[in-house]
Amino acid sequence: MARIPAMNAVVEVLKSEGVDTAFGCPGAAILPLYKAMEEVGGIEHLTVRHEEGATHMADGWARTNGGVGVAIGTSGPAGTNMITGLYTALADSIPIVCITGQAATALLDKEGFQAVDIVEIAKPVTKWAVQIKEAATAPWIFREAFRVARSGRPGPVLIDIPVDVAKGIIEYDPALDSPLPVAAVEPHRPRVEKALDLLLAAERPLILAGGGVIIAEAAGELRELAEYLNVPVQVTLMGKGAIDEDHGLFCGITGVQTSQRYGNASFLESDLVLAVGARFGDRHTGRLDVYRGERKFVHVDIEPTQIGRVFEPDLGVVSDARLFLQALLEVAKEREAGRGPGAWVGRVRHLKATLGRREDFDTVPIKAPRVYKEINEVFDEDTYFVTAIGLYQIWGGQHQKAYKPRRYQICGQAGPLGWEIPAAIGVKKALKNTEPDAEVVGIVGDYGFQYMVEELAVGAQYNVPFVLIMINNEYLGLIRQASIPYDMNYQVDIHYDEYGTDNVKIMEAYGCSGRRVVDPADIRDALEWARKEARATSRPVLVEIMIEREANTPHGPAIDAVREFEPVPAQV
C-alpha cells in the first residue's frame, strides 16, 4: 500500500464523504492540510474573514443539501471563534465537521503559542470533539467523525490536529476506503400501531411537523399520510417548508412568538397532537400547562433522550421521522383507515380563513408585515431564504410563506446574530452543482447585519450572488420589546444622524450594491432591482427597508394569551 502524507489521506476522505466545498482561514498550524488540499484538489475553498463565519457557511451548506459541511481554522483563537457556530449546529441538529490546527504536541503542556485545549472547550457544543494523536489514525478518525455527524440526531464534530501529527506519512489507499454505514433508526411496530389507535380515536387531531421531518427528507411521506387520514398539519418554526403552506390541510404555526392567530386557535381546539421530529421549544409551547392542556401527545423523535424531556407524552416513539411516517401510513392502509372530509378539517379551514393578520399597510414609516407581503409576492416557491434572530424572525414566522423543504433556513435555538450573510454564502455554494441559478435571499436586521458583515468580502471575492433584505428599525428591537414589562427603554436605541449607520455605503465599500427604501410603494421595485443586480454583478445586493422604529410583534406568555397589536382584518 502506498505511503502518503496523512493530510492527503484526509482530503481523500473528505471528497469521498461528499465534500466539494470547504470554508476556512489558513494559519501556521493547519498549513499541512492546506498543502494537501492544493496537491489533491477537488475541494473548492473559500477564505473567510472570521472563523465563526466559516462555521455558519458550513452550516448553511449542510442545511441545503443534507451533507456534512466543513469549516477549517488554525490553532488557538481560530478554534474558540468557532464555538458559536458549533453551538448553533448542535442546537439545530446540523451535521458539520470543524477542523482546527494545533500547536506541536511537545508544546501542549508548556503554554505554547496558540496552544489551547480546544477539545475540552468544544465538548459541550459538539457530538464529538477529538484530537488526533497518531498520524495513522487520521483517515479513520475522519471517517468516524462523518458517521457521528450524520447518525441519530445529526450534529457537529470538532477534530483538532497538532501540526507535528499533521506532517506524518501513513499507509493509505483511497481506492480501498469508503464512508462508514449509518444505522437506520426504525420504529417499533407495536408503538406505530398504538400511535394510529390514538390518532383514529381522536376527534380533533393535529400532526405537528418539526425540523426532524425536513432533516429526514420526509416531507413527501408527511403529506401523503395527512391526505390519507385527512388530518390537519402544523409546523414548528424549524419545520417551515415541511408542507406547502397553501395546502388545504396546513393550519399554521403554534407559539408565543412565531405563530399565526389561526395556528394557536386550531391547536387550542385540538384533542391530540402527533409531534414528529419536534423538540417542544419554549417559544413554541409557552406555558406548559396551557400547551399540554387535556390533549394527548404522541412524540416521535430519533433521539431517545428527547422524549419526556419537556413533558411526558402519552406515547413516545423512537424513530427516524421518514421511517415512522412510512410505517404509520402502511399500518393505516392495512386497516383501510383513510378518512374523507370531516367537520374538524372544515373547522380548521374556517379558522384559517377568518383569523389572519393584516399585511396591506400603506403608511410611512413602513410596517414590517407589508414587507413580508411583498416578499411573498415577488419571490417564488423555489427561492432559498435564510434568516436569524430578532423581531424580523418573529414577523417572518408569522407572515412569510414556505412551500418546500430546505427553502426556509433559520437558526432556531441558538439564535446567533450575524448568521445570515455567511449562511447565505453556504447555501448558494451548496447549490452550485444542482441549482446554480437558484435565488438565495437573506432577511436581516440592522444590528445583526454588522456582526458578520465582513463576510460580504467573501461573497464579493468568490462571486456569490444573493439578495439581502434588511428590516431596519434602528433599534435592538427584540430587546426593546422584551424591556416593556420592566418599564424601560435603556441602551437599545442605536439611531444617530439621519439613518444611523449607512448600510448602503457599507455594501459599496465591499464592492457590492445597495438601495434604501422608505415608502412601501417602492418595496417591490427595489426587490426586483436587487434580483437583477445580484445576477448582473454576481455579488451580494442589499435592499434596506426603513420600518417604524418602535413596532411590536404579537407575543405573550402562553398560546392562549398572545397580545395582538392590530385587529383581525375585515373579511372580503
Q: 275: domain CATH number?
A: 3.40.50.1220
What torsion do the CA atoms of 142, 120, 88, 156 make, to the nearest 10 degrees? 20
Kindly state whether residues 327 and 381 are assigned to the same domain.
no
Kindly state whether residues 218 and 341 are assigned to the same domain.
yes
Q: How far apart are CA 42 and CA 44, in angstroms?
A: 7
Q: What is the pLDDT of residue 464?
A: 97
**32-80, pLDDT tens digit by residue?**
999 999 999 999 999 999 999 999 999 999 999 999 999 999 999 999 9
Domain total of the chain: 3
Tell me the C-alpha to C-alpha distance, in Å, between residue 153 and each of 243, 274, 279, 461.
21, 19, 11, 35
Show the domain range for 135.
2-172
List of residues 6+ apart from 274 with CB closer than 8 A: 195, 198, 199, 205, 206, 207, 208, 231, 298, 300
Q: Is residue 559 part of a domain?
A: no
CATH number at residue 471: 3.40.50.970
Kindly state whether residues 117 and 229 are assigned to the same domain.
no
Query: Which segments of 306-411 does DSSP mark as H helices, in order?
Result: 321-334, 343-354, 368-378, 391-399
Q: Where are the beta strands (DSSP E) in 132-183?
A: 157-162, 169-171
| C-alpha cell recorded at residue 136 | 495513522
Kindly state whether residues 168 and 255 are assigned to the same domain.
no
Which residue type is seen at 42? G
DSSP class of residue 180 equals: P
Q: How far apart are CA 368 and CA 554, in angstroms?
A: 12
**149-190, pLDDT tens digit by residue?**
999 999 999 999 999 999 999 999 989 999 999 999 999 999
Q: What is the pLDDT of residue 572?
A: 44
Kindly state whether residues 317 and 378 are assigned to the same domain.
no
Kindly state whether residues 231 and 293 are assigned to the same domain.
yes
DSSP class of residue 517 equals: E
Ranges under pLDDT 50 in the chain: 572
Strands lying side by side in the sheet with 296-301: 233-235, 205-209, 272-276, 296-301, 315-318
Q: Is residue 555 part of a domain?
A: no
| C-alpha cell recorded at residue 173 | 489507499
Task: Find out whether 462 and 489 touch, Cβ atoms under 8 Å.
Answer: no
Distance of CA 287 to the CA centre of its chain: 25
pTM of the full predicted structure? 0.94
Q: How far apart are CA 412 and CA 234, in angstroms?
A: 17
Kindly state whether residues 382 and 317 are assigned to the same domain.
no
Q: Is residue 114 part of a domain?
A: yes
**511-552, pLDDT tens digit by residue?**
999 999 999 999 999 999 999 999 999 999 999 999 988 888
Kindly state whether residues 136 and 231 are assigned to the same domain.
no
Instruction: Tell me how many degrees the CA angle 443-446-450 measures, rounded to the nearest 5.
Output: 100
